[in-house]
Amino acid sequence: MLLAPTLPDKTVAMTETATRQAVMAVLVENEAGVLARVIGLFSGRGYNIDSLTVAPVDEAKNLSRITIVTSGTPMVIEQIKAQLARLVPVHRVADLTLEGPHIAREMALIKVAGTGERRVEALRIADAFRARVVDATTESFVFEMTGATDKLDAFIGLMRPLGLVEVSRTGVAAIARGPRGI
Amino acid sequence: MSATNASAPEAPTGELLSGAEIVLRALKDQGVDVIFGYPGGAVLPIYDALFQQNAIRHILVRHEQAAVHAAEGYARSTGRVGVVLVTSGPGATNAVTGLVDALMDSIPVVCLTGQVPTHLIGNDAFQEADTTGITRPATKHNYLVKDVNDLGRVLHEAFYVARSGRPGPVVVDLPKDVLINKGRYRGKPEAAHRSYRPVTDPDPAAIRQAVAMMKAAKRPIIYAGGGVINAGPEASRLLTELVHLTGFPCTNTLMGLGAFPASDPQFLGMLGMHGTYEANLAMHGCDVMVNIGARFDDRVTGRLRDFSPNSLKIHADIDPSSINKNVRVDCAIVGDAAKVLRALIAEWKASTAKLDTGAVAAWWKQIEAWRARDCLRFRQSTAAEAIIKPQYAIRRLYELSLATGRDTFITTEVGQHQMWAAQYWKFERPNRWMTSGGLGTMGYGLPAAMGVQIAHPDALVIDIAGEASILMNIQEMSTLAQYRLPVKVFILNNEYMGMVRQWQELLHGGRYSESYSAALPDFVKLAESFHAVGLRATKVGELDEVIREMLAVDRPVIADICVDQKENCFPMIPSGAAHNEMILGPEDEAPRGAGGLGVTEEGMVLV
């Protein structure tokens, strides 16, 4: 039977204060204001947004996909999912972190300026990280790099002393592994 | 009407109508018979169309906030969607308080707002406001209609969203050119909504789990809220059936009053900050709590970590985001309250498990001991010259209203009088009690009463008010006069913002900062200037006569009841305290808990 034989252990509940990161995929109606609703929900209720990306993914069905990386206690993460799911233009909310293995990738454009040894070193590291040179002048490079967030962080950290000028990142796009869609 | 059968090849179906005509057709097709509104430049096309038809009655309010509250009163007392029509810019911003009020209390309202023409949007045009932007967090959902051919569909969708799942307010922003342009109206759509389809049927496994927990209970309690009212009168009947079937005690939230008959011996009264001693201690001491359509609001739970610490909690709610939001529960049921209650009753009857009736009887014995404290006791001198206690005024109002035998609806403003009304009025049926619970909007009661009286022209509608709150929407007396709405405004006048004064007395060293209602109007003359009847009682000997006269008059009345200025509202659970740390009134002779008020610094920051 489903009935818990004893009272719930409140001490266990109290220790559920550790935060975790969650990658969520949200399928929404592609309409005006939908992103504002999602962002307003997070700011209005004090939830964290670590990263957020959005783009249309299905023109025929008029759907956009929002990928949100957020963090919070398990209770807060559950609450975020429930709050997202009750927005009128939201079709589906999937917690990719909970629902099994998934791939999360980010793309960044990284501008580095410098000459001489620093310039050569930047190019060498870019090669090791499989970053592509998409623009070059005699005193600068723009690298394009795709990968997990921590890989991008590591690369950008290495570029800092080598003349990092600026970074443009897309935020995380994520999808579950295996044959099933959300 | 400019209905034609001309069919353009690209738009073969639907009548060709102006946007304003489409608005009225859609309202009519939704069964709307009355709207509350205020005209202005951007909505003139709708007002012009209104002028040329008779199906929909328009009630002209005196302020847009009042239009929304009136629609709320209409919605709460009928179970239907309330409809509001206001103009752009200030019309829409004035409506925002009402919209948030409806959002917090889950009241179905559709609010049509005018907007500047589409080509001027974003230009800071005259009376332009970013209405969808401003109302996004103030509504359940909102729309900006940019094409007249979408108008009919969007309006029908707005009604669907407002009334489905957990109800709430929906704004439809209507640019003036969309109202003037001609487009196709295709009637009510048949297809289901693309994305919004709330679950209403409970999961049978969750029902079985809940009943197993309930059957194993020794100290059970049923805690029912506004969700039961929103699910319709049948849900209240089913709640009563379940409570009688199980023999469990039942308490209601502020929003749930009337869902279970107050005269029933199994009713413990309201719970929460100003709830009864027996309801709060039963919540604190129970071993199984069955929450139907309530949301563990902070006014109900008090200090969360000490809220009902030893109980298994069952929570049924139509809104999955209400579950595990404040309080972690052991059994979650997502569904419509009526369907959940029906399923619980069926499963209770089908289950072979036996309830430990001996243990439940012992629990009732404990509850009766708590009830014997008679926490709502107050002392009223019966001398004719004696000062009127506010509780006594409400009790007499209740008794004399009951004696009329009329169907009676109560609205309130916000503050002490609201809590006393909740404590001393005995609601036997749902939809008779309209109060601003979640948002706590002073100025709610008079316009809400107006909406109730429009929906129930022959009923007795009373706004129990305070002298401070009533001034926040007093202009609606003019609306009462215009439509001959015999609403009774019963002011408990203590010349203070009473609840503010009470907190300042109890929590801020008696420094009554800005809480005195200075320079009050003469409410009798004020009533008369608004074509209403003004009455006043200043002492006990005058009270009954004033109430009798108020009830007898078939006109709007303001009864100014001058009451004890020092009276506080008890019982009270101070902010940040637990249910078992309740303060009882001065009439309670039993020893107090340790440390007087027991307000912590942590509690002081809470409201």
B566 Rama class: left (phi>0) / alpha (psi -120 to 50) / beta: alpha
pLDDT mean over A157-170: 98
Among B133, B311, B321, beta carbon nearest to A82: B321
CB contact under 8 A, A88 and B310: no
Burial status of residue A66 (CB atoms within 10 A of its CB: 0-12, 13-18, 19 or more): buried
Between the alpha carbon of residue B214 and those of residues B267, B500, B551, B576, the distances in Å are: 18, 41, 45, 29
Which pLDDT tens digit goes with each residue over B259-306? 999 999 999 999 999 999 999 999 999 999 999 999 999 999 999 999
Judge whether residue A8 has pLDDT over 50. Answer: no
Q: Which residue has the higher pLDDT, A84 or B580?
A: A84
For residues B378 and A12, give the distance between their C-alpha atoms in angstroms, rounded to a whole number.
Answer: 44
Amino acid identity, residue B11?
Answer: A
pLDDT of B8 higher than 90: no
Please write the tens of the pLDDT for every residue from B480-489. 999 999 999 9
> Given this model, what pLDDT does residue B2 score?
43
Please name the residues in contact with B74: beta carbons below 8 A apart, sequence gap of 6 or more.
B34, B36, B80, B82, B451, B452, B454, B455
B566 is catalytic: no
Quote the pLDDT of residue A78.
95
CB contact (8 A) between residue B195 and residue A29 = yes
Inter-chain touch A2–B312, beta carbons under 8 Å: no
Phi, psi of B50 (to 5 degrees): -60, -40
Bigger pLDDT: A11 or B493? Answer: B493
Q: Is the pLDDT of residue B10 over 90?
A: no
Average pLDDT over residues A138-154: 97
Annotation marks residue B499 as catalytic: yes
Phi first, then psi, for residue B481 (nearest 5°) are -65, -45
pLDDT (tens digit per residue) in A73-127: 999 999 999 999 999 999 999 999 999 899 999 999 999 999 999 999 999 999 9
- Least Cα separation, residue B179 to chain A (angstroms): 20
**Given a cut of 70, is residue A10 above it in pLDDT?**
no
Q: What digits encode the pLDDT tens for the residues B302-346?
A: 999 999 999 999 999 999 999 999 999 999 999 999 999 999 999
Find residues 244-303 of chain B whose CB sits inside 8 Å of chain A: 287
Q: With contacts defined as CB-CB under 8 Å, which chain B residues touch A26?
A: none
Candidates B472, B497, B499, B550; catalytic one:
B499
Interface probe with B: pick from A6, A30, A88, most Cβ of B within 10 Å: A88
**What pLDDT was estimated at residue B603?**
66
Per the prediction, chain A carries an average pLDDT of 92
Asked if A88 lies within 8 A of B137 by C-beta distance, the reply is: no
Nearest to B209 among A3, A8, A87 (CB): A3
Q: What does the mean pLDDT of chain B come to? A: 95
Digit-coded pLDDT (tens) for B506-541: 999 999 999 999 999 999 999 999 999 999 999 999
Whether B188 is a known active-site residue: answer no
Cβ atoms within 10 A of the Cβ of B296, count? 25
Query: How much is the pLDDT for B588?
Result: 78
Dihedral sign computed on CA atoms, order B75, B78, B79, B81: negative
B353 touches A: beta carbon within 8 Å:
no
Q: What is the pLDDT of residue B595?
A: 39
ipTM of the complex model: 0.90
Task: Encode pLDDT of B15-59 as tens digits.
Answer: 899 999 999 999 999 999 999 999 999 999 999 999 999 999 999
